[in-house]
Amino acid sequence: MTSRTDKIGAYLSARVTQAAVERLRDTEQDEKFGIVSVVSVRVSPDLSYADVFVDSISAAKDLPKALAPMAGSLRHELSRKIGLHKAPIIRFRTKKDLEGEISSEERVLTILDEISKSHAGA
């Protein structure tokens, strides 16, 4: 990541945690989700998208849908605070999406490793 994507990721991580607590309390859904945390933030290199991976004690799979309405206001706030002409589109995803991403990457690396080993002796 570049320093700009790192800065955006750090800002979103801190701000989403705070905004999630406020939003869930306002909609009286805080009991449904319990403690909410931001697991990771991945910003695309071209700053088009920011995937915010969230988790909660209970009902984690419903959390991205509950947080989605605040994406627009967070994007606007991000644009003003960091000084971006075009802020990334914020997408909320579950921790399981992140785990699936990691395992897919590991599978690809394993396949590439097997291919390189099979061609090393040729």
As a whole number of angstroms, the distance between CA 23 and CA 19 comes to 6
Query: What's the CATH code of the domain at 41?
Result: 3.30.300.20
Task: Report yes or no on 120 lying in a domain.
Answer: no
pLDDT for residue 92 = 92
Q: Which domain holds residue 90?
A: 3-94
Whole-angstrom distance, CA of residue 21 vs CA of residue 61: 17
Q: How far is CA 37 from CA 3, 27, 43, 53, in A?
A: 23, 18, 18, 9
Tell me if 10 is assigned to some domain.
yes
Q: What is the pLDDT of residue 4?
A: 81
- pTM of the entire predicted model: 0.72
Residue 31 contacts residue 12 (beta carbons within 8 Å): no
Residue 60 lies in a domain: yes
Please list the pLDDT of the chain residue by residue as tens digits (122 residues).
568 888 888 888 888 888 887 877 777 776 777 778 888 889 998 889 999 998 888 778 888 998 899 899 988 988 888 888 888 999 999 887 776 665 566 667 777 777 877 776 55
C-alpha dihedral (102, 105, 107, 112), degrees to nearest 10: -160
For 97, phi and psi rounded to 5 degrees? -60, -40
pLDDT at 49: 92
